[in-house]
Chain A
Amino acid sequence: MRFLPLILRNSWRNRRRTLLTIASIGVSMCLLGVMIALYSAFWLSKPQDNQALRLVVRNRVSLAVFLPLAYRQQIEKIPGVRIATPATWFGGTYKDAREARNNFARFSVEPEKLFPLFAEWSIPEDQKQAFIHERTACVIGRDLANAFNFHLGDRIPLQGDIFPGNFEFTVRGIFDSPSNSNLMYFNKEYIDQAMPERRRGFVDTFYILIDAPEHSARVANAIDAQFRNSTGATKTESEQAFVVGFLSMLGDVRMFLVWISAAVMFTILLVSANTMAMSVRERVREVGVLKTLGFTPGTILFLILGEAVAISIAGGAIGYLISTVLLKGVQRSPMGGFLPSLHVVDPVIAAVCLALAALIGLLSSLVPALGASRAPIVEALRSTD
């Protein structure tokens, strides 16, 4: 490592160019960091302990088609099912739908089942009881309460669309959750009573709590088999898969993320390759001097690659830090309620970002570095800078 000072000194020699390079690598690595974090949250993260115990049953055709509430009795008979309870997406409008944060997630549920189902959430017992016993009560997540400065006793008006009518809910509880909690839950009864007779008794989904994670496949198959020949055939999947499936309605998010990331990597590779070629070309003569002093081609290769890698890693580190700030924002946003457990600071993702940055540095400078390290001394010394 006796060459580190020289490498750092050299990389800092054309400050403007170095800063621009660091900035462009930083921006791309930031983008990449966000992509990787989202990708791993959706497709690579292990379900949390409680999450692995939850299944979601929905209509096989689409989420937009309801299921009969009466399915519950049959589901409850399936071995391994501990709780089966409906949850229905309410939609509706809070104040002004054009403001993104007003479109937080809200569901009608059975109040007494909500907290047994989401055992990882915590709420004071008296608030829970108030929610169970007051028909127009609602509970909200800590994130939502903070975002709107809602307090116990506040009223939240919602204008229904899927379920027409004007509803007003009283905040009776605020719960804490380890993941994003831009969420609102209220009593299914309150909504049902405002509906005409023919609209009652239908739900979006059933949330199932099973007795052990290893039973999830068997229980899911059993539920779907049960209703295969009914008018409303079901699709049962893990909560995690359900959340991902929900987002996939936006398009093939997964391929989108992969392609964007690849394009970002490729572009930044070209940009930094150009920069590195330029800075090596300016220093051919110096390479000749170093060789005259006895530096071998290998050492020179190491110096040039080291410089490119140092610059890239600086960019990668800055980009990664910015990406965590962005992710924090995403997690707190109303959208965050849909995301599966998102790790804002994940050492694995940090390592991946830095490794990718280092790789970019290496690849972008490999060709000019090899050229310079192999250049004959006399040729190199004749080059004018």
Chain B
Amino acid sequence: MSEPIIETRNLTKEFLRDEFHVVALKDVTLEIPQGEFVTLMGPSGSGKSTLLHLIAAMDRPTGGEIRVLGHNLRELTDREIAHWRNENVGFIFQQFNLLPVLTALENVELPLKLTHLNKAERLEHAATALNLVGLGDRLGHFPRQLSGGQEQRVAIARAIVTDPALILADEPTGNLDAASAQEVLTILSKLNKDFGKTIVMVTHDPHAAHFATRVHHLEKGELMPDAA
């Protein structure tokens, strides 16, 4: 049994907004060991995205503890967190979120601009990542010249180009047709199996869960007891 890469204890996130008080996550205690492919499932509004954001330190919890890759995220400053995320976390969105003014290659190169690599090295790494997702022949294409499935593969390449240990995906197949979704899931599965990446993926698609090594269910902000 490998050591946990993500560890939460009574993790809680509340939103206070215009008198409304929403408890998005409530006392979530969870361990995700290294090398797992975990899917998070649950109805809309159950707190899946919120949990993913807390794991990526894109937001701060209002209660509880969270350790990711050996760091207590509550102790890091915003600057440290930015560097930490650049190095250790790849994030994939439902809406792809590529920069429209950049080509596929430049989009993938973007996270590397925050590293010490020189231009030649950056482009080499970016091209390698794009080859890995099967887009080696689309380096110079702009996002608008790509299909949705291709855009999402570029986004995956961008997420893995810094060789992070952890990949987080928020409904990565939500905007894709069945065939493209299958491609994306295959790539993620390969990243998990062949490259040892730990993956946490939010999904509504029960079929997607087949690729997972473990499935967690959230309901109204609470983690359901493990069925498996």
In the assembled complex, which residues on chain A have CB atoms less than 8 Å from the CB atom of B85?
Answer: 292-294
In the assembled complex, which residues on chain B have CB atoms less than 8 Å from the CB atom of A293?
Answer: 85-86, 91, 110-111, 114, 158
Which residue of chain A has its CB nearest to the CB of B103?
A: A9
Q: Which of B82, B102, B106 contacts A291 (CB 8 A)?
A: B82
B99 touches A289 (CB 8 A): yes
A292 touches B91 (CB 8 A): yes
For chain A, what secondary structure do more than half of its interface residues adopt (helix, strand, loop), or is it mixed? Answer: helix
- Could you tell me the distance in whole angstroms from the C-beta of A354 to the nearest C-beta in chain B? 25
Cα–Cα distance between A377 and B87 once the two chains are bound (Å): 17
* A297 and B59 in contact, given A2-B119, A13-B100, A378-B53 (Cβ under 8 angstroms): no
In the assembled complex, which residues on chain A have CB atoms less than 8 Å from the CB atom of B78?
Answer: 296-297
Which residue of chain B has its CB nearest to the CB of A379?
A: B59
* A294 and B111 in contact, given A377-B59, A378-B53, A378-B59 (Cβ under 8 angstroms): yes
B9 on interface, CB distance cutoff 8 Å: no
Binary per-residue interface labels of chain A (367-385) against chain B in the complex, 1 for a CB within 8 Å, 0 otherwise: 0000000001110010000
A376 touches B102 (CB 8 A): no
Interface range for A? 20 to 34
In the assembled complex, which residues on chain B have CB atoms less than 8 Å from the CB atom of A115?
Answer: none
Binary per-residue interface labels of chain B (72-114) against chain A in the complex, 1 for a CB within 8 Å, 0 otherwise: 0000001100110111000101000101111000100011011
Interface size on B, residues (CB 8 A): 25
Which residue of chain A has its CB nearest to the CB of B88?
A: A294
In the assembled complex, which residues on chain B have CB atoms less than 8 Å from the CB atom of A292?
Answer: 56, 58, 85, 91
Q: Which of A294, A376, A377, A381 contacts B86 (CB 8 A)?
A: A294
In the assembled complex, which residues on chain A have CB atoms less than 8 Å from the CB atom of B56?
Answer: 292
- Could you tell me the distance in whole angstroms from the C-beta of A18 to the nearest C-beta in chain B? 12
A6 on interface, CB distance cutoff 8 Å: yes
A3 on interface, CB distance cutoff 8 Å: yes
Cα–Cα distance between A291 and B85 once the two chains are bound (Å): 9
In the assembled complex, which residues on chain A have CB atoms less than 8 Å from the CB atom of B158?
Answer: 293
Which residue of chain A has its CB nearest to the CB of B83?
A: A294
Which residue of chain B has its CB nearest to the CB of A299?
A: B114
In the assembled complex, which residues on chain B have CB atoms less than 8 Å from the CB atom of A128?
Answer: none
Interface set, chain A 77-123, CB cutoff 8 A to B: none
Q: Which of B79, B101, B111, B113 contacts A9 (CB 8 A)?
A: B101
In the assembled complex, which residues on chain A have CB atoms less than 8 Å from the CB atom of B86?
Answer: 293-294
Binary per-residue interface labels of chain A (281-296) against chain B in the complex, 1 for a CB within 8 Å, 0 otherwise: 0000110011111111
Q: Which of B93, B101, B114 contacts A10 (CB 8 A)?
A: B101
- Could you tell me the distance in whole angstroms from the C-beta of B122 to the nearest C-beta in chain A? 9
In the assembled complex, which residues on chain A have CB atoms less than 8 Å from the CB atom of B53?
Answer: 377-378
B97 touches A294 (CB 8 A): no
Cα–Cα distance between A292 and B168 once the two chains are bound (Å): 11
Q: Which of A6, A294, A295, A297 contacts B102 (CB 8 A)?
A: A6
Cα–Cα distance between A295 and B102 once the two chains are bound (Å): 16
26 contacts between A and B (CB under 8 A): A5-B106, A6-B102, A6-B106, A6-B110, A10-B101, A12-B101, A13-B100, A286-B99, A289-B93, A289-B97, A290-B110, A291-B82, A292-B56, A293-B85, A293-B91, A293-B111, A293-B114, A294-B85, A294-B86, A294-B114, A296-B78, A296-B83, A297-B78, A376-B59, A378-B59, A381-B97
